[in-house]
Amino acid sequence: MEQLQKLVLNPLQPVILPITTNLPAPAQNALSTLLGATCHRTLVLNLDVLTHPECLSLAISKALGIAIITAASVVKIPQIIKLARSQSAEGLSFPSYVLETASFLINLAYNVRSGFPFSTYGEVSLILVQDVIISVLILWYSGKATQAGAFVAAVGSAVYALLGTDIVSQSQMTSLQAGGGLLSIASKLPQIYTVWQQGGTGQLSAFAVFNYLAGSLSRIFTTLQEVDDKLILYGFIAGFTLNAVLAAQMVYYWNSPTTAGHGKEVGVKKQAVLQKGTAGMATEEKIKGLGTATGSSPARPTSGRRRG
């Protein structure tokens, strides 16, 4: 830390301090709210990391949080575009998205009602909206328009019930958060199984998978820095582990046939085997039928030797 201050920050002070100390009042107020008065003064106005070393970790955590929220606003847009263009839900697991939506709903309500900083959970609300859109598209392209409408209504009812205190108490919300962590874990398992079963990733977006992996790793750090809550921390650790499995599948199946192509290939092979077996049985039955009609038994193969 001393080397950072001496070799990097001190030489930069004459250049950077005139800028940071003359920022517009709204920007100064926003930074003060984000970092706190002490860390704002230490880092922004003095460019000093030695007086309060903990402020540097907090600043890194806040920067990561903002980056995660920014990335979350578009993290599943490629997946939505891919679905809309292909008009196919091959390779996507609807149960996986339902479980993830439920987990994010609970997590969002728990954070809001606990009063945690928005920078530690803001991406949840953005990804939640995108999950709902993807779930509706999966149902729509599977010919289940009625179920899609019912799903949206169910999500809206759950938001109303969880964010208010009249229906779900704070103690019940804590219990739900504990279960929400399990839902987050369970939400990845159907998708992992679908990819493995179909031998390809289909319409699954690599951009979303790898961004999820990076986001869950970053959230472990921000939670350790800013949120003293083991329920949230363990959820992010478990999520990172399963996101890593999904990312590994994405790499493994990168050059494999698409899910749809894989399914057609398997279907053609099975059909060929069935047709071959059916043809063989039909030929055997025909031979037996001829033998019965002439009163003789089917001809037996003769050996190459002739009797003298």
Is the pLDDT score of 307 beyond 70? Answer: no
**Residue 262: pLDDT band by 50, 70, 90 thresholds?**
very low
Max mean pLDDT among 96-105, 114-123, 233-242, 283-292 falls in: 96-105
The one-letter amino acid code at 15 reads: V
Mean per-residue pLDDT of the chain: 79
Dist. CA 152–CA 174, nearest whole Å: 25
Per the model's pLDDT, the better-predicted residue between 272 and 129 turns out to be 129
Dist. CA 133–CA 208, nearest whole Å: 14
Q: Are residues 43 and 79 in the same domain?
A: no
Q: Are residues 122 and 193 in the same domain?
A: yes
Q: Residue 286 domain-assigned?
A: no
Q: Are residues 23 and 99 in the same domain?
A: no
Which of residues 233, 256, 279 is at a domain's end? Answer: 256
Q: Residue 13 domain-assigned?
A: yes
Q: Are residues 47 and 111 in the same domain?
A: no
Range of the domain at 229: 75-256
Q: Are residues 97 and 239 in the same domain?
A: yes
Residues 6+ apart with CB under 8 A from 230: none
Q: Are residues 39 and 129 in the same domain?
A: no
Q: Are residues 43 and 84 in the same domain?
A: no
Per the model's pLDDT, the better-predicted residue between 107 and 270 turns out to be 107
**Residue 285: pLDDT band by 50, 70, 90 thresholds?**
low
The two structure tokens encoding residue 106 = 């609970």
- Kindly list the distances between the CA atom of residue 261 and the CA atoms of 42, 131, 258, in Å, as whole numbers in the listed order: 59, 26, 5
Nearest to 213 by CA among 233, 191, 236, 193: 236
Q: Are residues 127 and 246 in the same domain?
A: yes
Q: Are residues 229 and 140 in the same domain?
A: yes
Dist. CA 95–CA 49, nearest whole Å: 47
Q: For residue range 59-92, what is the model confidence (pLDDT) as tens digits? A: 888 888 888 888 878 888 888 998 889 888 877 8
Q: Which of 69-73, 253-257, 273-277 has the lowest mean pLDDT?
A: 273-277
How many domains, the chain? 2
The two most distant CA atoms of the chain are separated, in Å, by 120
Q: Residue 261 domain-assigned?
A: no
Nearest to 40 by CA among 119, 186, 52: 52
Q: Are residues 117 and 229 in the same domain?
A: yes
Q: For residue range 139-172, what is the model confidence (pLDDT) as tens digits? A: 999 888 899 999 999 999 999 989 877 888 888 8
Q: Are residues 138 and 240 in the same domain?
A: yes
The percent of residues in the chain predicted with pLDDT above 70, rounded, is 83
